[in-house]
Structure 1
Amino acid sequence: MPLVTVSGTPRECGVAYGAAAVDLIVANTANYLARFPFDTSYARHYGSLFREASHRYAPRVADMLDGVAEGSGVHVDEIYALNGRTELIYSEQPHECTAIGVLGEQTLLAQNWDWHPDQRPYALLLDTTDELGRRALALTEAGMLAKAGLNDAGLGVCVNMLGSKRDRRDGGAPYHVLLRAALDARHLGAAIKAVCGTPRGASINLLLGQAGAPGEVIDLEVAPDDVGFLHPVDGVLTHANHFETALSSIDTLKSFGGSSFFRAARARRLLGEGPGEERIKQVLRDHGGHPQSICRHDEPDAPEADRTESLYSLVMDLDERRMSIAAGPPCTAGEYYDVWLDKTD
């Protein structure tokens, strides 16, 4: 997996990122433009709406994305459409990712990132240090700024797709901009404020954690105009792709079904046998319900939009500021590779 390391103002970070990963960003943007259910002019239209909302509600994130467009030479509205790919393609049938949070001697977040297998070549690690010296490390897709990640303040985030009856293609900052805004926060309260205070058009689940003695973990089920909260039970918090709070009445997954309805519960049960980093990795390799298991495997004969597998698996120790990452599916990946925020060079 490529590691892109940049520093400076948000705009400077974006320009350097765009230039460093230009081939991947150009290819990834073209890939999604071909998958959108409309032509490029409509994609740019939605991208311009996403850009306007992002500058209004997450200006530093927007400055970085503007820089990505400049550095890569990709039209700025196409970069924002890329970052709104969830709103533009898959909002109705969420089927990706199992996330885990554990409180103990260390504060741990983990997840399998499940997505279409054709997207594996476009993944990268993005390491940014802004003009104030604040650093963040994120797993992401080329041209985007974050999925799962952690920062030097000991804050981390994992993500699951959700689908609600309120979702729409516009209406605020896109899913991946909201993720980056949370990751840029310096403490848990600020991350929650960034999530709750940013208008959005799509639903998203964020599992947030902050290191400390003791640390803390919280899950936010975010729909347009509403947010639900989940807290650890016996130090464990897990989530998949359906609503578990009172917002469940708007859950579109109830109309489709899927493995989400057992994956999070299974992860909680397996972690009850003794949560810890090695146990978390065992759970991320679990095949209960295979192939639509926590360790997800591609079904080549499935409809194209339904194909998905665990592209990458990661565990983050927020106290150590360490991300351990393995190419997926994790059952075949062998050892996890460790990346520390202070050692990525």
Structure 2
Amino acid sequence: MQLPLPLITSSGTPRKCGNTYGSLAAAAIAANTANYMARFAAVGIGAEQAREYGALFRAASHEYAPRVAEMLDGVAEGARINVDEIYALNGRTELIYSVEPGVARTQEPAECTALAVLGERSATTHTLLAQNWDWHPDQRPYALLLDTTDDQGRRVLALTEAGMLAKAGLNNAGLGVCVNMLGTLRDRRDGGVPYHVLLRAALEAPHLGGAIKAVCGTPRGASINLLMAQAYDGGTPGEAIDLEVGPDDVGFLHPIDGVITHANHFESALSAVDTLKYIGGSSFFRAARARRLLGAGRIEEERIKGVLRDHGGFPQSICRHEEPGAADVDRTESLFSLILDLDERRMSIANGPPCTAVEYHHIGLEKTG
């Protein structure tokens, strides 16, 4: 079955994995880097300043996530792109959305509705994650799947953008991550390790505790929500947790009746001011609606697909569609929709918006012992 987007595979040391990826996707990475450099310029960050931020991101990444940084350095080498521009690309959330400290941004975060279902609630007894990735529709041509196997035997499959290492994905230890953008008045552009490097560091972890440690122990500038889960072999029930991560604080949400849902606003008692309160938007009902649509009893994957295709609040619905007449900077839709079966180590992915998808396409990973 043909996948709805390119698949890049690489193996070896982190540097070699990155180099192979960069070489195989060089044209897409060059185009995506140029695209984001133009987006940075549109918010007042010229090329030289973007590279200066990239150098800061690179230094922080090498200090706190060195294996991920080695892979990104390899991407730059393989694609023959300025390494600081590659790090600026991976800091696109910080550079586009962060503003002066204490100043609320004016754009609603466009990224995603996510959910987790524990085995006690899923029809197959498997631990499941799912989400729609909502982003600017012009970014669809730069999306790809990255499948890497490193020199320690860790295999990671992630949906990402060309030149980045991860967005939502899973690894062969049964650990999966979904992501939502958040925002606080404390977000800043030069606060440490970029959002997308942090995502990859979580996916590189061998277990859920290690992923949580990677997130909490890494300095960051942008807020991010990570919905994480892991399936365990041998009949041990899986686990899920939601981490609402600000620049200097972390909040936690745990499953209720075996389910977690999340959108783009804070729900925990984090000691930070949520900038979405100054903007408003569909996030304030999407997560609650997703939980309600999941309903009672055992939850099949078809029901999850129905939630991801839901049009309540259209066009700013769980299945997001472009708003007629929206300014270019505000254009967004569900680019891809995915379901992760962590017991099977399987990703199922559909071109978005998912209401138009006839089927989800499947790709699996081998388990580790």
TM-score (normalised: structure 2):
0.91
Alignment partner for residue 8 of structure 1, among 5, 9, 12? 12
Is 1:271 the counterpart of 2:291? The answer is no
Return the offset for 1:94. 1.5
Return the offset for 1:86. 0.1
Any residues of structure 2 matched to 1:149-228 within 5 Å, and which? 149-212=169-232, 213-228=236-251
Letter in 1 for 2:209: G
Looking at structure 2, the residues matched to 303 and 249 of structure 1 have their Cα atoms a distance apart, in angstroms, of 29
Any residues of structure 2 matched to 1:112-123 within 5 Å, and which? 112-123=132-143
Helix, strand or coil at the partner of 2:317: coil
Return the offset for 1:249. 4.7
Letter in 2 for 1:255: Y
Quick check: 265-274 or 146-155, which moved more? 265-274
Distance 1:300 1:90, change over 3 A: farther
Q: Does the CA contact (< 8 Å) of 2:186 and 2:272 recur in 1?
A: no
Q: Does the CA contact (< 8 Å) of 2:322 and 2:331 recur in 1?
A: yes
Alignment partner for residue 112 of structure 2, among 97, 116, 122? 97
Letter in 2 for 1:294: I
Corresponding residue number in structure 1 for 2:101: none
Any residues of structure 2 matched to 1:236-275 within 5 Å, and which? 236-247=259-270, 249-274=272-297, 275=299
Task: Provide, for residues 199-224 of structure 1, a one-character-per-residue CA deviation record: whole Å limited to 9, x for no partner.
Answer: 00000000000002200000000001
Looking at structure 2, the residues matched to 225 and 248 of structure 1 have their Cα atoms a distance apart, in angstroms, of 9
Q: Does the CA contact (< 8 Å) of 1:173 and 1:199 recur in 2?
A: yes
Corresponding residue number in structure 1 for 2:53: 46
Q: Does the CA contact (< 8 Å) of 1:112 and 1:312 recur in 2?
A: yes
Q: Does the CA contact (< 8 Å) of 1:208 and 1:217 recur in 2?
A: yes
Looking at structure 2, the residues matched to 160 and 319 of structure 1 have their Cα atoms a distance apart, in angstroms, of 23
Helix, strand or coil at the partner of 1:217: strand
Return the offset for 1:248. 6.8
Helix, strand or coil at the partner of 2:63: helix
CA RMSD of aligned residues (A): 1.1
Corresponding residue number in structure 1 for 2:39: 35
Corresponding residue number in structure 2 for 1:71: 78
Return the offset for 1:273. 3.8
Corresponding residue number in structure 2 for 1:287: 311
Alignment partner for residue 83 of structure 1, among 90, 98, 102? 90
Distance 1:252 1:98, change over 3 A: same
Looking at structure 1, the residues matched to 365 and 31 of structure 2 have their Cα atoms a distance apart, in angstroms, of 28
Task: Provide, for residues 19-64 of structure 1, a one-character-per-residue CA deviation record: whole Å limited to 9, x for no partner.
Answer: 0000000000000000112210010000000000000000000000
Q: Does the CA contact (< 8 Å) of 1:96 and 1:113 recur in 2?
A: yes
Looking at structure 2, the residues matched to 276 and 81 of structure 1 have their Cα atoms a distance apart, in angstroms, of 40
Q: Does the CA contact (< 8 Å) of 2:195 and 2:224 recur in 1?
A: yes
Identity %: 77
Looking at structure 1, the residues matched to 272 and 202 of structure 2 have their Cα atoms a distance apart, in angstroms, of 26
Corresponding residue number in structure 1 for 2:66: 59
Q: Does the CA contact (< 8 Å) of 2:116 and 2:128 recur in 1?
A: yes
Q: Does the CA contact (< 8 Å) of 1:106 and 1:318 recur in 2?
A: yes
Is 1:20 the counterpart of 2:24? The answer is yes
Letter in 2 for 1:97: C
Looking at structure 2, the residues matched to 263 and 242 of structure 1 have their Cα atoms a distance apart, in angstroms, of 10
Q: Does the CA contact (< 8 Å) of 1:95 and 1:258 recur in 2?
A: no
TM-score (normalised: structure 1):
0.98
Looking at structure 1, the residues matched to 143 and 366 of structure 2 have their Cα atoms a distance apart, in angstroms, of 22
Q: Does the CA contact (< 8 Å) of 1:205 and 1:221 recur in 2?
A: yes
Return the offset for 1:95. 2.4
Task: Provide, for residues 253-307 of structure 1, a one-character-per-residue CA deviation record: whole Å limited to 9, x for no partner.
Answer: 0000000000000000111244231111110000000000000001241122211
Task: Provide, for residues 70-114 of structure 1, a one-character-per-residue CA deviation record: whole Å limited to 9, x for no partner.
Answer: 000010000000000000002433121000000021000000000
Alignment partner for residue 230 of structure 1, among 234, 237, 253? 253
Looking at structure 2, the residues matched to 210 and 56 of structure 1 have their Cα atoms a distance apart, in angstroms, of 27
Is 1:314 the counterpart of 2:338? The answer is yes
Return the offset for 1:250. 1.1
Distance 1:300 1:29, change over 3 A: farther
Task: Name segments (4+ residues, structure 1) moved above 4 Å.
Answer: none
Distance 1:294 1:248, change over 3 A: farther
Helix, strand or coil at the partner of 1:246: coil
Q: Does the CA contact (< 8 Å) of 2:170 and 2:345 recur in 1?
A: yes
Return the offset for 1:312. 0.1
Q: Does the CA contact (< 8 Å) of 1:95 and 1:260 recur in 2?
A: no
Runs of 5+ consecutive residues of structure 1 not aligned to the other structure: none
How many equivalent pairs are there? 343
